[in-house]
Chains A and B, each alone.
Chain A
Amino acid sequence: MAGNEIKIVIAGHVDHGKSTLVGRFLCDTGQMPADRKEKIEKRCKKDGKRFEFAFLLDAFEEEQDQGITIDATEIRWSFGGKRFLLIDTPGHREFSKNMVTGASKADAAIILLDAGEGIREQFRRHSHILAMLGIENIIVAVNKMDLAAYNARRFAAIKKEAGGFLARIGIPPAAVIPICALHGENLVQKSPRMPWYAGKPLAGALLDLKATRNTGLEPFRFSIQDVYKSGGKRIYAGRVESGILRKGREVEFLPSGKGTCVKTIEKWREPGIKTAKHGDCVGITLAEPLPVERGEVAVGRKQRAIVSDLVRANIFWMGDQPLTAGRGYKFRLAAQEAGCRLVSVENVIDADTFEKMDASEDAIARNNMGDVTLQLDRPLVYDEFSKVAAMGRFVLVDGERVSGGGIILGDTRAGFPGREIKDRKVFTEKSGITKEARKKRNGHPGFAIWLTGLPGSGKSTIARELEKRLFETGVQVYALDGDNIRHGINRDLGFSSADRAENIRRLSEIAGLFSDAGLAVITAFISPFESDRKKARETIGAANFIEVFVDCPLEVCEKRDPKGLYKKARRGEILNFTGVHAPYEKPVRPDITLRTDKIDAIAAVKKIIDFLERKGKTGTSGRRDPAYEKK
Chain B
Amino acid sequence: MKRPIPVSDETIRLRELENESIYIIREAYRKFKKPAMLWSMGKDSCALLWLVRKAFFGRTPFPVVHIDTTYKMPEMIKFRDEKAAQWGLDLVVVKNRAALKAGISPARGKLKCCTALKTHALRELLKKEKYNAVLLAIRRDEEGTRAKERCFSPRGGGFEWDFKDQPPELWDQFQTDSREGAHIRVHPLLHWTEADVWKYIRQENIPVIKLYFAKNGKRYRSLGCLPCTAPINSRAATIDDIILELETILTSERAGRAQDKAGDYAMQKLRVEGYM
Asked whether B217 is an interface residue with its Cβ less than 8 Å from the other chain, the reply is no
Asked whether A232 is an interface residue with its Cβ less than 8 Å from the other chain, the reply is no
CB-CB under 8 A for A266 and B57, given A34-B250, A59-B144, A59-B145 = yes
Asked whether B210 is an interface residue with its Cβ less than 8 Å from the other chain, the reply is no
Please state if A332 and B145 are interface contacts (CB–CB under 8 Å).
Answer: no
Please state if A104 and B268 are interface contacts (CB–CB under 8 Å).
Answer: no
CB nearest to B143 among chain A residues: A59
Please state if B175 and A401 are interface contacts (CB–CB under 8 Å).
Answer: yes
Please state if A279 and B16 are interface contacts (CB–CB under 8 Å).
Answer: yes
Please state if A3 and B10 are interface contacts (CB–CB under 8 Å).
Answer: yes
Please state if A294 and B30 are interface contacts (CB–CB under 8 Å).
Answer: yes
CA distance A365 to B147 in the complex (A): 30
Asked whether A350 is an interface residue with its Cβ less than 8 Å from the other chain, the reply is no
CB nearest to A85 among chain B residues: B191
B164 contacts which chain A residues (CB < 8 A)? Answer: 62, 70
Please state if A2 and B173 are interface contacts (CB–CB under 8 Å).
Answer: no
CB nearest to B141 among chain A residues: A76
CB nearest to A104 among chain B residues: B170
Asked whether A5 is an interface residue with its Cβ less than 8 Å from the other chain, the reply is yes
Asked whether A420 is an interface residue with its Cβ less than 8 Å from the other chain, the reply is no
Asked whether B215 is an interface residue with its Cβ less than 8 Å from the other chain, the reply is no
Please state if B148 and A237 are interface contacts (CB–CB under 8 Å).
Answer: no
CA distance A399 to B145 in the complex (A): 27
CB-CB under 8 A for A74 and B168, given A3-B13, A43-B264, A332-B173 = no
CA distance A230 to B26 in the complex (A): 15
Asked whether A101 is an interface residue with its Cβ less than 8 Å from the other chain, the reply is yes
Interface members, chain A 40-94 (any B CB < 8 Å): 43, 56-62, 70-76
Please state if A73 and B147 are interface contacts (CB–CB under 8 Å).
Answer: yes
Residue from A231, A269, A402 having most chain B Cβ neighbours under 10 A: A402
CA distance A546 to B154 in the complex (A): 47
B17 contacts which chain A residues (CB < 8 A)? Answer: 2
Asked whether B103 is an interface residue with its Cβ less than 8 Å from the other chain, the reply is no
Q: Which of B19, B53, B143, B252 contacts A268 (CB 8 A)?
A: B53
Please state if B9 and A3 are interface contacts (CB–CB under 8 Å).
Answer: yes
Asked whether A228 is an interface residue with its Cβ less than 8 Å from the other chain, the reply is yes
CA distance A43 to B268 in the complex (A): 15
Asked whether A1 is an interface residue with its Cβ less than 8 Å from the other chain, the reply is yes
A105 contacts which chain B residues (CB < 8 A)? Answer: 170
- A394: shortest Cβ distance to chain B, in Å? 8
CA distance A269 to B20 in the complex (A): 18
Please state if B13 and A2 are interface contacts (CB–CB under 8 Å).
Answer: yes
Please state if B175 and A60 are interface contacts (CB–CB under 8 Å).
Answer: no
CB nearest to B30 among chain A residues: A226
Asked whether B90 is an interface residue with its Cβ less than 8 Å from the other chain, the reply is no
B150 contacts which chain A residues (CB < 8 A)? Answer: 101
Asked whether B97 is an interface residue with its Cβ less than 8 Å from the other chain, the reply is no
B58 contacts which chain A residues (CB < 8 A)? Answer: 230, 268
CB-CB under 8 A for A59 and B175, given A2-B191, A279-B19 = no
Q: How large is the interface on A (under 10, 10 to 19, 20 to 34, 35 or more residues)?
A: 35 or more
A5 contacts which chain B residues (CB < 8 A)? Answer: 13
Please state if B57 and A405 are interface contacts (CB–CB under 8 Å).
Answer: no
Interface members, chain A 255-298 (any B CB < 8 Å): 266-269, 279-281, 283, 294
B30 contacts which chain A residues (CB < 8 A)? Answer: 225-226, 294
Q: Which of B56, B145, B193 contacts A60 (CB 8 A)?
A: B145
- B167: shortest Cβ distance to chain A, in Å? 6
Asked whether A400 is an interface residue with its Cβ less than 8 Å from the other chain, the reply is yes
A3 contacts which chain B residues (CB < 8 A)? Answer: 9-10, 12-13, 16
Interface members, chain B 42-76 (any A CB < 8 Å): 53-59
B15 contacts which chain A residues (CB < 8 A)? Answer: 280
CA distance A198 to B143 in the complex (A): 39
Please state if B169 and A228 are interface contacts (CB–CB under 8 Å).
Answer: no
A399 contacts which chain B residues (CB < 8 A)? Answer: 177
CA distance A405 to B168 in the complex (A): 9
Residues 208-223 of chain B, each 1 if its beta carbon lies under 8 Å from chain A, else 0: 0000000000000000
Interface members, chain B 138-191 (any A CB < 8 Å): 140-141, 143-145, 147-148, 150, 163-164, 166-171, 173-175, 177-179, 191
Asked whether B29 is an interface residue with its Cβ less than 8 Å from the other chain, the reply is yes
CA distance A76 to B247 in the complex (A): 13
Residues 6-48 of chain A, each 1 if its beta carbon lies under 8 Å from chain B, else 0: 0000000000000000000000001001111000000100000
Residue from B15, B26, B29, B255 having most chain A Cβ neighbours under 10 A: B26
Please state if A230 and B19 are interface contacts (CB–CB under 8 Å).
Answer: no
Asked whether B251 is an interface residue with its Cβ less than 8 Å from the other chain, the reply is yes
CB-CB under 8 A for A402 and B169, given A71-B148, A73-B148, A75-B141 = yes
Residue from B9, B10, B19, B20 having most chain A Cβ neighbours under 10 A: B19
A390 contacts which chain B residues (CB < 8 A)? Answer: 171
Please state if B29 and A226 are interface contacts (CB–CB under 8 Å).
Answer: yes
CA distance A279 to B23 in the complex (A): 10
A206 contacts which chain B residues (CB < 8 A)? Answer: none
Q: Which of B171, B179, B251, B268 contacts A395 (CB 8 A)?
A: B171
Q: Which of A34, A59, A318, A397 contacts B148 (CB 8 A)?
A: A59
A1 contacts which chain B residues (CB < 8 A)? Answer: 16
Q: Which of B23, B147, B251 contacts A225 (CB 8 A)?
A: B23
Asked whether B265 is an interface residue with its Cβ less than 8 Å from the other chain, the reply is yes
Please state if B173 and A101 are interface contacts (CB–CB under 8 Å).
Answer: no
Asked whether B22 is an interface residue with its Cβ less than 8 Å from the other chain, the reply is yes
Please state if B171 and A393 are interface contacts (CB–CB under 8 Å).
Answer: yes
- A266: shortest Cβ distance to chain B, in Å? 7
CA distance A269 to B252 in the complex (A): 34
B251 contacts which chain A residues (CB < 8 A)? Answer: 33-35
CA distance A5 to B23 in the complex (A): 20
Asked whether B273 is an interface residue with its Cβ less than 8 Å from the other chain, the reply is no
A104 contacts which chain B residues (CB < 8 A)? Answer: 169-171
Asked whether A128 is an interface residue with its Cβ less than 8 Å from the other chain, the reply is no
Interface members, chain A 387-420 (any B CB < 8 Å): 390, 393-395, 397, 399-403, 405
Residues 93-106 of chain A, each 1 if its beta carbon lies under 8 Å from chain B, else 0: 00001101100110
CA distance A4 to B10 in the complex (A): 9
- B221: shortest Cβ distance to chain A, in Å? 12
CB nearest to A405 among chain B residues: B170
- B residues contacting A by CB (< 8 A) are 9-10, 12-13, 15-20, 22-23, 26-27, 29-30, 53-59, 140-141, 143-145, 147-148, 150, 163-164, 166-171, 173-175, 177-179, 191, 193, 250-252, 255, 264-265, 268
18 extra interface residue pairs, beta carbon distance < 8 Å, beyond A59-B148, A61-B268: A3-B10, A3-B12, A33-B251, A59-B147, A60-B148, A70-B163, A71-B166, A73-B144, A74-B191, A101-B168, A225-B27, A235-B57, A237-B55, A269-B54, A390-B171, A393-B171, A400-B177, A405-B171
6 tightest A-B contacts by CB?
A59-B144, A3-B13, A104-B170, A400-B177, A33-B252, A395-B173
A-B contact pairs, 5 of them (CB 8 A): A3-B12, A70-B148, A230-B59, A402-B173, A403-B168
